[in-house]
Amino acid sequence: PRSILQWNVGCHRDISHESLSLFRLLEPHIEILVLGTGDRVERLHPGMLKQMRECGIAVEVQDTPNACATFNFLMSEKRMVAAGLIPP
């Protein structure tokens, strides 16, 4: 179901294994996580991305405006997608 959850992340440096655990717990299980890292694309630790892939979740990291557009597009295709968005 469509939901909005508070994600306790203020900037890309706050994204961690723990903060991403929220997305691994969602039901129904998501297949794609779109992360918006603010005004620009920020690199995330490869280990975090690998852990998400091992859980069956692809992660797409973009600046937040593009992440919103990608999320909306994937939703329109009826994909199981979630977004973690940091305001620009």
Q: How is the chain split into domains, by residue range?
A: 30-85
DSSP secondary structure letters along 4-67: ------SSGGG--HHHHHHHHH-SSPPSEEEEEESSS-----HHHHHHHHHTT-EEEEE-HHHH
Q: Which tens digits make up the pLDDT trace of 47-67? A: 999 999 999 999 999 999 999
Q: Which tens digits make up the pLDDT trace of 67-81? A: 999 999 999 999 999
Q: What is the mean pLDDT of the segment spanning 9-37?
A: 95
CATH architecture observed for domain 30-85: 3-Layer(aba) Sandwich (3.40)
Tell me the average pLDDT of the chain.
95
